[in-house]
Amino acid sequence: MESKAFIVEGGHKLSGEITPQGAKNEALQILCAVLLTEEKVTIHNIPNIIDVMKLIEILGDLGVKVNKLDEGSYEFTADAVDIHYLESDEFAQKAAKLRGSIMVLGPLLARFGFAKVPKPGGDKIGRRRLDTHFLGFTKLGASFNYDDRSSFYSIDAKNLEGKYILLDEPSVTGTANVIMAAVMAKGKTTIYNAACEPYIKQLCRMLNRMGANIQGAGSNLLEIEGVERLGGTTHTMLPDMIEIGSFIGLAAMTGSELTIKDCRIDELGQIPGVFQKLGIQMEFRGDDIYIPAQENYKMERFIDGSILNIADGPWPMFTPDLLSIVLVASIKAKGTVMIHQKMFESRLFFVDKLIDMGAQIILSDPHRATVIGSNNERPLRGISMTSPDIRAGVALLIAALSAEGKSTIYNIEQIDRGYQFIDERLRALGAKIERV
């Protein structure tokens, strides 16, 4: 995709049904896990987004046979991995473009005793340290080196041995990496303070189907009994919960009646409840979320009458990836809310664009923004803006679709990194978006 901007004509109501794509952050883990076996792994519901396609390309370059079966369905066979590819300039360039590339480390270490990656890419949303990954690998017996000049992290180990590992923080990609390193280690590994997102649960389920022995999936205490080898399997990605949350925010801000199909509501944790706290009505119809057209909605207060505060935290707390969407959805509500982004320090700066559009927001510091909702009395106005990161990008797109007049959003590669054909899918609901 060569395009650079979306031109959005705001103020149109959307309506209809939309089906979420497969989960981006699950896909990045699951794709790396195909490196753990020389047998065929079939994966369904793979989202067609930039980050995922880049990772598939890297797997292919590493020698994994990639066979596309259908839209979103692929077979992978890692029976001839060329570990020397990790030394190439091409790998350095490609792997540095996405966050997910860091998760080739665990499986390559488990299978080949060596791995390296450049400093990974992903959103520039504050410091994104990787200590947890290397703390885990070194506990299992690997030696670790960081080359400051080339920005390459490398690890190697003749043998990995199961250990008790208390993670310093429940890092999502860190937990996935340590699990993948531990599944074929000798003996028992216990990971405490593990991340427990549905993504990690899905990864554990997949690995168990491949022959691993992991107990505790979905909790913060994982017990892994090492096995000799893993075999092939078939895996289907969950619907992307961040897309689901984004569509709830979109429906609310544009006053649209939308049905979000096949949501796996059982795996959404706090997500629907947080949007309901903003006053957004929704109905669960089987596994669909129905959102009626709402001109007005009123934020709740806490039981003692104090002002609402919505903060992120490691799962099962509210995911940081949806705070930008919650923030934008609160602009139209009646009431006041403090949005507290605890985990990242540069994810709220996009609010200056919302302020330019007419929103009443006070950015108190890099972590906290207070939104004084308009009760739908002061519509936003369209402006030109640049998308700083994936979720802020979609938050700005939602704001633009709800605004009076025309907006231009630049740097939409950020949005395409994580939302599949978003312009096309929203046009089908009646949105006026042009890709230029």
Ligand X SMILES: CC(=O)N[C@H]1[C@@H](OP(=O)(O)OP(=O)(O)OC[C@H]2O[C@@H](n3ccc(=O)[nH]c3=O)[C@H](O)[C@@H]2O)O[C@H](CO)[C@@H](O)[C@@H]1O
Active site residues: 123
Q: Using alpha carbons only, what angle is made at residue 54 by residues 328 and 43, rounded to the nearest 5 degrees?
A: 90
Residue 423 touches ligand PEP, criterion: CB under 6 A = no
Return the beta strands (E) in 341-381 as ranges: 361-365, 368-372
Burial class for 354, CB neighbours closer than 10 Å (0-12, 13-18, 19+): buried
191 binds ligand X per the rule CB under 6 A: no
| Closest to ligand PEP by CB, 191 or 242 | 242
d(CA 143, CA 154): 8
The C-alpha R_g of the chain, in whole angstroms, comes to 22
393 scored as a contact of ligand X (CB under 6 A): no
Rule CB under 6 A: is residue 388 a binding residue for ligand PEP?
A: no
Picked from ligand PEP, ligand X, none, the partner binding residue 391 (CB below 5 to 8 A depending on kind) is: ligand PEP
- Does 319 bind ligand X (CB under 6 A)? Our answer is yes
User: Closest separation between CB of residue 51 and ligand PEP, Å?
Assistant: 6
CA–CA separation, 182 and 143 (whole Å): 15
Cα–Cα distance, 337 to 352 (Å, whole number): 17
Please tell me whether residue 41 adopts helix, strand or coil conformation.
strand
**Phi, psi torsion values for 179, nearest 5 degrees:** -60, -50
Binding status of residue 97 toward ligand PEP by CB under 6 A: no
Closest CA to 394 of 20, 2, 95, 130: 20
Flag whether 24 is marked binding. yes
What mask of x and - would describe binding to ligand PEP in positions 298 to 337, judged by CB under 6 A?
Answer: -----------------------x----------------
Applying CB under 6 A, which part among 34-42, 204-212, 315-323, 377-385 lies near ligand X? Answer: 315-323
CB 65 within 8 A of CB 79: yes
How many residues contact ligand PEP, by CB under 6 A?
10
Residues belonging to the binding site are 24-25, 99, 321, 343
Residues belonging to the binding site for phosphoenolpyruvate are 24-25
Residues belonging to the binding site for UDP-N-acetyl-alpha-D-glucosamine are 99, 321, 343
Q: Binding residues for ligand X, per CB under 6 A?
A: 25, 28, 99-100, 127-129, 169-174, 314, 319-321, 343-344
